[in-house]
């Protein structure tokens, strides 16, 4: 029995040893096969990566260039994906519960967890600009969140995702819709805030924004040194001038009242606030009376206003502007591309939200052209925003601004129509229409394509009306060109000419006038162009016709206001007619399109209230125009000082109130009787 048990044990041990030897051979063979597969796989890595790069399927999820807090969040490994899923679910719950501030904090974490994922930036910016802003009380608080949404995309999202057309499209939309449109009750405050912010950076624009001058003025910023610190270090004049700005005289009684300026935004802000052309010249005169009250920053004002420092001041300001605008943490704008847009589309005023919408939509379309997997819908919509921006630049691209630097949202701003953009927009429709839909079977050469055709036709119809009202021979010729283009382009389904075009050019335009008064933007443009035509008639001596055109503008103004006069807010209301007329006259006096003699005729036809309100603003341009005239004119004869000007300067608000109710179409005797 014992012998049998021992025999079985020996058999068991022998079998076990044999099995172990077999397992080792299995491991050896499996390891060899696995190693062979691994070597084969390693050989395929480079070809696969090449395919991924060629097809642009690579997500650059490295931490290179990311701030430390974001870089740390991206190192969570597999936990990051789980955290992103949880945060997205929580964000949706918070949005449905209207808990926007907690949602904002979670959005910030989400952006840090997935900095290379464009959707999280778009989602976060939308919540700031739209959801959170409308929950605030007061224009200033609302603007804070709108600007936060802009900065979130401009200085973070696009910086980390420069090839995402979605982010460019979203940023263009915020400028165009949230700031530029009128659906938000605080939209005028947004426009004023943006305009003042840009004027603090760019400074006061040239008095006459002619195309060549505007581009030449901006080109100085583009050509400024890109390395600000290096330029100051190697330029003795700049270094010396900067030292003078930083260090007031220690023994001066005014030293304690002075700011210390540096080569940064503080210098630009001080220049913008203190060196405006319309500023009181007494601010730049040195005190002679030692007992006179101290004027803050008087030494700096005199130093900056010294003609001997004009060149170095301009160079330094342009270098600082270039540095600030290019800085990815501030504005992240490409100055060369901005200049290219101005060359292509005309003298863009960067105080306008539509100029920024045009920039970001165009920039996105440009930098993502070669991105294979870019979102087709976002790409098409980005191009649409180019059209929208140009459309509104033609409606309200000329900015009249009286900045309140202490409370920017309370600044006076009047966006006026600028018909120069019609030509550029017409050409943009033709170019982008062919680029986007040129391969479509129903595309017709010389048109904007099937998807853009409606917007293109509507643009041309409005351009015809607006150019007709401007009254100039050049504008009339352009309007007729668009009319005959539409006649061939906008046809019935069977190819015949539509009934609307079977008429004369003049009859067609007059029939279209009432359609212009359906919206605030349309009514504003229509009435402003009527006022401009009134001014043109006065410029050539047709005072009676000028008054007649003004009376028609007044009639249409009342026609539009009949439905909105009872609105509780001013969102849909027009400016008082006297104020609209004042701004149109000011633009005319500052334009070189009109001769000094024409301006004298217009000035003599104006009421005293209007003359008082624009005299100080128009005089610098008139003086320059009279100076270069051959022979020189006397500015005092072209633009005589209005009576009571000194009293007006002390109480401008009183005269402004009178101007709101003054009616140039009624004589003073008739007005008194009617009152």
The tokens describing 316, both together, are 């330094």
pLDDT confidence tier of residue 172, bands split at 50, 70 and 90: very high
As a whole number of angstroms, the distance between CA 165 and CA 258 comes to 46
Q: Evaluate whether 411 touches 402 at the Cβ level (below 8 Å).
A: yes
Q: If you average pLDDT over residues 279-307, what whole number do you get? A: 57
The residue ranking higher by pLDDT, 404 or 293, is 404
pLDDT of res. 249: 60
As a whole number of angstroms, the distance between CA 412 and CA 405 comes to 11
pLDDT of res. 285: 36
pLDDT confidence tier of residue 638, bands split at 50, 70 and 90: confident
Q: 398: which strand partners?
A: 416
Q: If you average pLDDT over residues 469-478, what whole number do you get? A: 78
pLDDT tops 80 at residue 422: yes
Q: If you average pLDDT over residues 465-469, what whole number do you get? A: 81
In sequence order, which ranges of 184-227 are alpha helices (DSSP H)? 187-202, 211-222
The tokens describing 350, both together, are 């960067």
pLDDT of res. 153: 94
pLDDT confidence tier of residue 567, bands split at 50, 70 and 90: low
Q: If you average pLDDT over residues 395-424, what whole number do you get? A: 84
As a whole number of angstroms, the distance between CA 475 and CA 96 comes to 52
The residue ranking higher by pLDDT, 365 or 54, is 365
Phi, psi of 207 (to 5 degrees): -60, -35
Q: In this predicted model, what pLDDT tens digit does every residue of 230-280 receive, in sequence order?
A: 998 899 998 888 888 876 665 555 555 567 788 889 889 988 887 765 443
As a whole number of angstroms, the distance between CA 221 and CA 200 comes to 14
User: Quick one: which of 136, 288, 264 has its CA closest to 200?
Assistant: 264
pLDDT confidence tier of residue 187, bands split at 50, 70 and 90: very high
The secondary structure of residue 522, as a DSSP letter, is H
The residue ranking higher by pLDDT, 290 or 129, is 129
As a whole number of angstroms, the distance between CA 31 and CA 22 comes to 14
The secondary structure of residue 563, as a DSSP letter, is T
Q: In this predicted model, what pLDDT tens digit does every residue of 607-637 receive, in sequence order?
A: 888 888 889 888 888 888 888 876 788 888 8
pLDDT confidence tier of residue 62, bands split at 50, 70 and 90: very low
pLDDT of res. 416: 78
pLDDT confidence tier of residue 287, bands split at 50, 70 and 90: very low
User: Quick one: which of 69, 140, 78, 55 has its CA closest to 111?
Assistant: 69
pLDDT confidence tier of residue 670, bands split at 50, 70 and 90: very low
Q: Evaluate whether 448 touches 386 at the Cβ level (below 8 Å).
A: no
In sequence order, which ranges of 58-117 are alpha helices (DSSP H)? 68-73, 78-96, 100-113
pLDDT tops 50 at residue 669: no
Q: Among the ranges 18-32, 96-110, 315-329, 584-598, which has the highest mean pLDDT value?
A: 315-329
User: Quick one: which of 553, 558, 660, 646 has its CA closest to 607?
Assistant: 660
pLDDT of res. 59: 46
Sign of CA dihedral 545, 548, 554, 555: negative
3-state secondary structure of 414: strand
Range with the poorest average pLDDT among 53-67, 216-230, 586-600, 632-646? 53-67
Sign of CA dihedral 193, 194, 199, 205: negative
pLDDT of res. 645: 85
Q: Evaluate whether 266 touches 362 at the Cβ level (below 8 Å).
A: no
3-state secondary structure of 491: strand
As a whole number of angstroms, the distance between CA 394 and CA 528 comes to 12
Helices H / strands E in the chain, number of each: 31, 2
The tokens describing 187, both together, are 């939209």
At which residue do the structure tokens 């953009």 appear? 421
The tokens describing 179, both together, are 């700031």
The residue ranking higher by pLDDT, 64 or 108, is 108
pLDDT confidence tier of residue 471, bands split at 50, 70 and 90: low
Q: In this predicted model, what pLDDT tens digit does every residue of 598-614 receive, in sequence order?
A: 888 889 888 888 888 88
560 Cα distance to chain centroid: 28
Range with the poorest average pLDDT among 189-203, 229-243, 346-360? 229-243
User: Quick one: which of 179, 215, 218 has its CA closest to 201?
Assistant: 218
Q: If you average pLDDT over residues 105-116, what whole number do you get? A: 76
Range with the poorest average pLDDT among 113-117, 402-406, 508-512, 667-671? 667-671
pLDDT of res. 149: 92
Q: Evaluate whether 361 touches 168 at the Cβ level (below 8 Å).
A: yes
- Strands 398-402 and 412-416, sheet pairing: antiparallel
Q: Evaluate whether 163 touches 367 at the Cβ level (below 8 Å).
A: yes
Beta strands in 264-388, from DSSP E residues, in sequence order: none
pLDDT of res. 675: 31
3-state secondary structure of 198: helix
pLDDT tops 60 at residue 427: yes
- Domain limits, the chain: 1-37, 68-184, 200-416, 424-674
Q: 471: which strand partners?
A: none
Q: What percent of the chain has pLDDT over 90?
A: 18
518-536 burial code (b ≥16 CB/10 A, e <16): eeebbbbbbbbbbbbbbbb
Q: If you average pLDDT over residues 577-585, what whole number do you get? A: 88
Q: Among the ranges 60-69, 328-337, 545-554, which has the highest mean pLDDT value?
A: 328-337
Range with the poorest average pLDDT among 20-29, 192-201, 226-235, 549-558? 20-29
pLDDT tops 50 at residue 63: no
User: Quick one: which of 76, 50, 79, 75 has its CA closest to 64?
Assistant: 75
Q: Among the ranges 98-102, 596-600, 654-658, 666-670, which has the highest mean pLDDT value?
A: 596-600
pLDDT confidence tier of residue 7, bands split at 50, 70 and 90: low
- DSSP string covering 286-299: PP--TTSPP-TTHH
pLDDT of res. 317: 92
Determine the length of the chain. 675
Q: 402: which strand partners?
A: 412
Q: Evaluate whether 554 touches 531 at the Cβ level (below 8 Å).
A: no
pLDDT of res. 217: 87
Inter-axis angle of helices 596-605 and 577-589, nearest 10: 160
Please give the mean pLDDT across all residues of the chain.
Answer: 79
As a three-state string, the secondary structure of 595-612 is CHHHHHHHHHHCCHHHHH
Pick the CATH number of 68-184 from 1.10.10, 1.25.40, 3.90.1690, 1.10.287: 1.25.40
Q: If you average pLDDT over residues 470-490, what whole number do you get? A: 84
Cα-based angle 536, 539, 541 (whole degrees, multiple of 5) = 115
User: Quick one: which of 355, 319, 317, 320 has its CA closest to 337?
Assistant: 355
Q: Evaluate whether 81 touches 121 at the Cβ level (below 8 Å).
A: no
pLDDT of res. 142: 93
The total of other beta-carbon atoms located within 10 Å of residue 499's CB is: 8
Q: How far, in Å, are 94, 146, 175 from residue 108 at the CA level?
A: 14, 16, 22
């Amino acid at each position: 029995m014992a012998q049998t048990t021992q025999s079985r044990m020996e058999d068991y041990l022998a079998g076990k040893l044999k099995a172990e030897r077999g397992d080792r051979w299995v491991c050896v063979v499996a390891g060899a096969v696995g190693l062979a597969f691994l070597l084969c796989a390693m050989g395929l890595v480079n070809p696969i990566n090449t395919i991924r790069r060629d097809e642009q399927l690579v997500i650059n999820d490295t931490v290179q260039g990311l701030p430390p807090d974001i870089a740390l969040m991206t190192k969570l490994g597999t936990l990051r994906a789980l955290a992103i899923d949880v945060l997205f679910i929580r964000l949706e719950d918070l949005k449905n519960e209207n808990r926007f501030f907690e949602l904002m904090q979670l959005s910030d974490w989400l952006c840090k967890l997935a900095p290379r994922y464009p959707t999280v930036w778009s989602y976060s910016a939308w919540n700031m600009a739209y959801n959170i802003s409308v929950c605030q009380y007061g224009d200033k608080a609302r603007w804070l969140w709108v600007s936060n949404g802009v900065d979130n995309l401009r200085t973070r999202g696009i910086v980390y995702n420069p090839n995402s057309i979605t982010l460019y499209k979203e940023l263009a939309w915020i400028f165009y819709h949230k700031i530029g449109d009128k659906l938000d009750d605080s939209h005028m405050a947004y426009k004023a805030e943006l305009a003042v912010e840009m004027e603090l950076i760019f400074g006061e624009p040239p008095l006459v924004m002619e195309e060549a001058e505007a581009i030449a003025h901006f080109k100085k910023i583009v050509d400024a040194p890109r390395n600000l610190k290096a330029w100051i270090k190697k330029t003795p004049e700049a270094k010396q001038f900067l030292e003078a700005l930083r260090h007031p005289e220690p023994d001066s009684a005014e030293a304690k009242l002075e700011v210390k300026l540096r080569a940064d935004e503080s210098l630009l802000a001080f220049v913008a606030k203190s060196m405006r052309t319309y500023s009181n010249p007494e601010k730049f005169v040195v005190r002679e009376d030692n007992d006179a009250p101290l004027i803050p920053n008087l030494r700096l004002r005199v130093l900056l206003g010294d003609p001997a420092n004009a060149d170095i001041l301009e160079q330094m300001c342009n270098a600082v502007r270039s540095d600030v605008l290019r800085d990815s943490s501030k504005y992240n704008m490409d100055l060369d591309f901005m200049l290219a847009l101005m060359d292509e589309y005309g003298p863009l005023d960067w105080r306008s939200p539509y100029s920024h919408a045009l920039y970001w939509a165009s920039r996105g379309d440009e930098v993502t052209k070669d991105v294979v997997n870019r979102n087709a819908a976002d790409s098409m919509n980005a191009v649409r925003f180019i059209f929208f921006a140009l459309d509104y630049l033609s409606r309200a691209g000329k900015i009249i601004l009286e900045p309140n630097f202490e409370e920017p949202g309370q600044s006076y701003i009047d966006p006026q129509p600028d018909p120069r953009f019609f030509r550029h927009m017409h050409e943009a429709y033709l170019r982008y229409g062919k680029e986007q839909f040129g391969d479509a079977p129903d595309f017709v050469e010389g048109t904007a394509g099937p998807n853009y055709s409606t917007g293109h036709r509507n643009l041309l119809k409005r351009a015809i009306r607006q150019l007709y009202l401007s009254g100039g021979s050049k504008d009339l010729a352009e309007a007729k060109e668009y009319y005959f283009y539409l006649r061939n382009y906008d046809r019935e389904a069977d190819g015949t000419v539509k009934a609307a075009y079977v008429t004369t050019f003049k009859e067609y335009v007059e029939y279209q006038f009432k359609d212009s008064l359906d919206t605030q933007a349309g009514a504003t443009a229509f009435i402003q162009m009527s006022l401009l035509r009134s001014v043109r008639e006065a410029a050539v001596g047709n005072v009676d016709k000028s008054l007649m055109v003004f009376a028609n503008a007044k009639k249409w103004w009342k026609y539009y206001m009949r439905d909105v006069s009872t609105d509780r807010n001013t969102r849909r209301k027009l400016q008082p007619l006297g104020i609209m007329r004042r701004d149109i006259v000011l633009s005319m006096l500052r334009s070189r399109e009109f001769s000094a003699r024409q301006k004298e005729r217009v000035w003599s036809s104006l009421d005293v209230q209007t003359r008082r309100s624009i005299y100080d603003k128009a005089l610098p341009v008139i003086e320059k125009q009279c100076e270069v005239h051959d022979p020189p004119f006397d500015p005092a004869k072209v633009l005589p000082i209005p009576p009571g000007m000194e009293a007006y300067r002390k109480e401008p608000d009183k005269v402004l109130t009178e101007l709101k109710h003054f009616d140039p179409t009624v004589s003073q005797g008739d007005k008194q009787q009617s009152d």
